[in-house]
Structure 1
Amino acid sequence: MKKMILKMFVFGVVAGSVAVLSGCQKNKAGADFYDSESNMYGDPLLGDTPLVDPTVADGDRSLFPPVFFAYDSSQVNPEESGKCEQVADYLKKGKGQGVIVEGHGDERGSREYNLALGERRALAVRDYLISLGVNSATIQTKTYGEEMPDDMGHDENAWRKNRRAVFAIY
């Protein structure tokens, strides 16, 4: 009798677990802030911040030089921080409505890895801009990974140019 009760208890636990787990919906982290078709991210701290409509303002990428990164790194180097400071000063003076920080990587690594690395680079620059006093609601990020290289070469010189974050001011 005890064995039968134990078997029924175990069966009930397993069946209940399967029922509960099969009813759970799986959401990607950040799904509320990420538009997968455009690789565009809104402000991860403010869920109601809309993504920039690319048909309204694509952004001017010629105003500021890109921030370059070391291999496999998303840390803003001290040598590159002055570029972020220029953008922060520009935005704090009200000369632009906002900025899209576009993260890029070189061709080494998988597509998925490089998209994630491009995102981390863009977010690192975004965080630095916020630390400089730029309103977080005016900064959005987008990742291209290895998809839009600046230099089509296949050597360290080309890869160095492709590991970057670009400022699109709108």
Structure 2
Amino acid sequence: MRKSSAGGDDDVELRGFSRSLPMMLLLAREAVLSRFRIYLHQFDITEQQWRVLRAVHSHPGKEITELAALTALHQPSLSRILRDLQARNLLQRRQTPNDMRRALITLTAKGANIVRSVTPPFENIYAEMSTAYGGRKLEQLQTLLTELTDTLNALPPPQLDERLKATATD
């Protein structure tokens, strides 16, 4: 929506807060994660640590760069999380035979046990969400979110609007 400013330039009106896509996604994320969080706390696992354990469980033997992409974590954060999980004997790093600088990440028996332990309650949470929200709607939402992610990732990187650059330096 556009409105005219006193200076004659067209100003863009900020969309309503409740229709802000980033805020809507954050609220949805919190609604979903709040269902799982209680089980993670039982094992003293943070959400980011769970993301790593879950990714390594599904994709064993990945390198750190691949794991960072899978978990949407920056490599410095992921390195810290890997160090913490390794210290707790939940995962292990194995050097690759061809290049000792590269490491493959796998779960230990203790890490795999945590994943096995939370799987039944997590699947119950998915069933509860599916019943409450609707199985077809949940599948549609997952499909739409995947399509949105793929579409936005295919766009060129965002560029700072020149008008904003001028305003920021004033």
TM bin, normalised by shorter chain, reads: under 0.3
Greater share of residues in strand: 1
Which structure would you say has the larger RCO, counting Cα contacts within 8 Å and 6 or more residues apart? 1
Scaled by the length of structure 1, the TM-score of the pair is 0.22
Bigger helix fraction: 2
Please give the TM-score of this superposition, normalised by the length of structure 2: 0.22
